[in-house]
């Protein structure tokens, strides 16, 4: 059997699926806890790929495509767990006291599967023919390819590539470990008065993983995020703090509060307008992608299809879509039956299903594009959730117009419907990234799509019991939390915010001014970007600007630094003896940076859960005076060492 035939045969295997499901169950539980505690989740594709290569290396017939299927299944853990940014809202507003297994499971499964299906017609437009960088997809592919080369051939190039990934991984994991001990900090925060009552601050992050992302996404995206960061902290925060002076609170609390409650909504408005513009520009390619999918299905029946360009069959897509919509209709009806809105079940379902289906497809395109731009784990998916709940609550209010007794039920129904859209968003945010990895390693798209459906089902099975366990043990901020074991509720920041927004819309006390300002900024950035395009100058991606406004500075600034350093390194490689090899070393080391911190994130999440402590590895107190200096120093030192090594190897 030839290598190509063997590779095609050993792709979607039982052992690969079992391994992927096992990783999914563990990583999903860790991600749910971490997301509710600190508002962040970690990407699981790359750690899963590394684990898969280690385990499947025991089998002589394992292939790179089989390892790719394992990471595809397990990637659901890093994305579907983001459902906790909405679903706990039903407990926070007092509608649920726990998480009914079948309702929660079916929300995740129906939304997650639709997320997979909606990205199928987007694949050719946004992966095959797109120039989006897909930093995490590229990093995962590099890890898989380096592992395969190192196993199959002991060539100097393979060894060098493996060493490059290992160096990047050890450096980023080591820095993350040092930060976990609190001897060094992974961010430096300072707030100050600019002039008069105007205030601002800096929140600088020392993350090699995010620096690696910046290297991979390139200078255009990095500078666009810098523009967003400056709009946020050099413009909006000082202006708004001056207009609303602090009364009895510190500068830090005031500036941070203005950013959280006002400026982030400016970012959400910018993201909304940029996303709509992106969708309009993608209209033609998406229609072309749908036609290509239909054409590929016909070619498959005729036996002339290309395995590397074959999606799930049209029949399977249709059957799964209809099945998901049936389940969603049942969920909505069952939810409304015992509420004061039972008499409005039909109009609310008629409004809910199109919102979920059409809104879900639009969200799939938006989230897929953002993942392609800066990576799935850095994509501001909660910003999409903010827009979704505002639209959903507005639609439901227009349909129902309930009295005082029905408003609470309508808030809960809006959260319930939005949670399904959010499940679509989480998976579409991830699926195109996986398909990019598959494209680079020669995988079968259909196999990956089925693999992700398996991952969705596995992740959905573990989310409700973990949520119930955490609700009983800790409870959530803003909820009644009667009978919890501890008196320290989990912060659940996104769920608290989205619940407040739903209540604000339905109770008519929501200020939409900031979202409108953000939309205006989005229009200006779009015009500027188009002018730059006509002039053939460096573009300013509007979505990246919105992301820069919306994300914390500590998540944006390392990406900007990485983009600038990566650009300077790539310019240097043009003068190297072997430019292509030198540039590839940069990609491999950047990929390794993402790998190391991701793997450590998995380990740290497990320790946090095991020891019920947010700092289980701390060696000193949280106010260690030299932590900032050590963190910055080690960050700069590791960057210098890694890039010096690459330049030395490239001479």
Q: What string of DSSP letters covers 554-595? A: HHHHHHHHHHHHHHHHHHHHTTSSSHHHHHHHHHHHHHHHHH
Q: What is the DSSP letter of 259?
A: I
Rounded to the nearest 10°, the torsion over CA 631, 636, 637, 638 is: 90
For the full predicted model, state whether its pTM sits above 0.85: no
Highest averaged pLDDT of the listed ranges 210-224, 377-391, 557-571? 557-571
Report the C-alpha gap between 70 and 63 in whole angstroms: 11
- Nearest 5°: phi and psi at 199? -130, 160
Sign of CA dihedral 92, 93, 98, 104: negative
Nearest to 426 by CA among 27, 84, 36, 38: 84
> According to the model, what pLDDT value does residue 158 have?
58
User: Are the beta carbons of 97 and 467 closer than 8 angstroms?
Assistant: no
**Helices (H) then strands (E): counts for the chain:** 25, 2
Which distant-in-sequence residues (6+ apart) come within 8 Å of 635 by Cβ? 175, 206, 208
Separation CA 54–CA 52 (nearest Å): 5
Is the CB of residue 92 less than 8 Å from the CB of residue 476? yes
Mind listing the pLDDT tens digit for each residue in 519-539?
899 999 999 999 998 888 888
- Quickly state the pLDDT bin for 380 (edges 50, 70, 90): low
Alpha carbons within 13 angstroms on the beta-carbon side of residue 316 total 14
Report pLDDT for 15. 87
- Confidence grade of residue 580 (pLDDT, cut at 50, 70, 90): confident
Q: What are 105-125's pLDDT values in tens digits?
A: 999 999 999 988 888 877 877
Half-sphere exposure of 104 (CA within 13 A, CB side): 25
List all residues 6 or more positions away from 346 whose beta carbon is below 8 Å from its beta carbon: none
pLDDT digits (tens, 9 = 90+) for 414-451: 999 999 988 888 887 777 888 888 888 888 888 888 98
What mean pLDDT value characterizes the chain?
81
- pLDDT, mean of residues 477-491: 64
Least confidently predicted of 246-255, 272-281, 403-412, 460-469: 272-281
pLDDT number for residue 375: 66
How many angstroms separate the CA atoms of 433 and 47, rounded?
15
Higher pLDDT, 589 or 81: 589
Range with lowest mean pLDDT among 107-121, 279-293, 375-389: 279-293
Give the containing element (helix H, strand E) for 205.
Answer: strand 198-205
Of the pLDDT bands very low, low, confident and very high (cuts 50, 70, 90), residue 466 is: confident
- pLDDT tens string 297-315: 555 555 555 567 777 888 8
Angstrom CA distances, 97 to 29, 88, 405, stand at 20, 10, 19
**Residue 7 — very low, low, confident or very high, per pLDDT cuts 50/70/90?**
very low
From residue 95, alpha-carbon distances to 415, 480, 507 in Å are 10, 11, 16
The residues, any chain, with a CB within 8 Å of residue 235's CB and separated by 6 or more, are none
In this predicted structure, the answer to whether residue 56 has a pLDDT above a threshold of 70 is: yes
| Residue 143: closest CA among 521, 513, 598 | 598
Q: For position 484, what pLDDT does the model report?
A: 58
What's the average model confidence in pLDDT over 155-166? 71
Contact by Cβ (8 Å): 267, 231: no
Helix (H) or strand (E) holding 190: strand 187-195
> Using 50, 70 and 90 to split pLDDT, how confident is the model at 8?
very low
Q: What mean pLDDT is predicted for residues 388-410?
A: 83
């Amino acid at each position: 059997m030839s290598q190509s035939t063997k590779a095609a045969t050993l792709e979607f295997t039982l052992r690969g699926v079992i391994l992927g499901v096992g990783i999914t169950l563990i990583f999903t539980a860790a991600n749910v806890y971490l997301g509710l505690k600190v508002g962040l989740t970690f990407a699981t594709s790359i750690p899963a790929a590394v684990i898969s290569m280690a385990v499947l290396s025991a089998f002589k017939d394992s292939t790179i495509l089989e390892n790719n299927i394992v990471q595809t299944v397990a990637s659901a853990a890093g994305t579907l767990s983001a459902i906790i940014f909405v679903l706990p809202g039903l407990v926070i507003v007092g509608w649920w006291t726990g998480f009914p297994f079948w309702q929660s499971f079916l929300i995740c499964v129906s939304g997650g599967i639709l997320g997979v299906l909606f990205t199928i017609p987007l694949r050719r437009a946004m992966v095959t023919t797109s120039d989006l960088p897909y930093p995490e997809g590229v990093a995962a592919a590099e890890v898989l390819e380096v592992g395969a080369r190192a196993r199959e051939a002991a060539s100097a190039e393979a060894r060098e590539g493996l060493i490059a990934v290992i160096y990047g991984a050890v450096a980023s994991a080591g820095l993350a470990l040092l930060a976990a001990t609190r001897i060094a900090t992974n961010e430096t925060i300072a707030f100050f008065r600019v002039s008069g009552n105007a205030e601002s601050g800096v929140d600088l992050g020392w993350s090699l993983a995010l620096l690696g992302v910046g290297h991979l996404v390139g200078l255009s995206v990095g500078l666009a995020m810098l523009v967003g960061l400056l709009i946020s902290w050099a413009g909006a925060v000082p202006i708004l703090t001056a207009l609303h002076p602090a009364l009895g609170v510190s500068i830090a609390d005031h500036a941070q509060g203005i950013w959280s409650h006002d400026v982030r909504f400016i970012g959400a408005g910018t993201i909304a307008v940029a996303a709509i513009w992106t969708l309009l520009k993608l209209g033609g390619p998406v229609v072309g992608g749908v036609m290509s999918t239909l054409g590929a299905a016909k070619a498959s029946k005729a036996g002339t299809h290309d395995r590397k360009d074959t999606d799930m069959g049209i029949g399977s897509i249709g059957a799964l879509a209809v099945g998901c919509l049936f389940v969603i209709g049942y969920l909505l009806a069952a939810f409304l039956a015992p509420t004061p809105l039972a008499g409005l079940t039909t109009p609310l379902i008629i409004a809910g299903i199109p919102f979920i289906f059409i809104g879900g497809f639009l969200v799939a395109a938006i989230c897929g594009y953002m993942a392609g731009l800066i990576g799935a784990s850095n994509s501001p998916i909660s910003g999409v959730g903010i827009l979704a709940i505002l639209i959903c609550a507005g639609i439901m209010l227009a349909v129902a117009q309930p009295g005082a007794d029905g408003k609470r039920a309508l808030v809960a129904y809006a959260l319930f419907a939005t949670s399904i859209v959010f499940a679509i968003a989480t998976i579409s945010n991830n699926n195109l990234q996986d398909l990019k990895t598959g494209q680079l390693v020669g995988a079968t798209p259909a196999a990956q799509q089925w693999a992700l459906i398996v991952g969705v089902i596995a992740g959905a099975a573990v989310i409700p019991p973990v949520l119930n366990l955490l609700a009983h043990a800790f409870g959530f901020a803003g909820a009644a939390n009667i009978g919890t074991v501890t008196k320290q509720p989990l912060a659940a920041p996104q769920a608290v915010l989205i619940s407040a927004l739903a209540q604000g819309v339905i109770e008519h006390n929501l200020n939409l001014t900031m979202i409108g300002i953000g939309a205006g900024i989005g229009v200006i950035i779009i015009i500027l970007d188009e002018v730059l395009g006509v002039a053939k100058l460096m573009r300013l991606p509007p979505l990246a600007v919105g992301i820069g406004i919306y994300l914390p500075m500590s998540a944006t600034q390392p990406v900007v630094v990485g983009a600038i350093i990566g650009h300077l390194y790539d310019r240097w490689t043009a003068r190297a003896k072997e430019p292509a090899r030198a540039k590839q070393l940069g990609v491999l080391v950047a990929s390794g940076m993402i790998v190391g911190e991701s793997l450590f994130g998995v380990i740290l999440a497990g320790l946090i859960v095991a020891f019920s402590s947010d700092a289980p590895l701390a060696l000193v107190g949280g106010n260690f005076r030299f932590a900032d200096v050590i963190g910055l120093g080690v960050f700069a030192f590791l960057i210098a060492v890694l890039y010096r090594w690459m330049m030395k190897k490239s001479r």
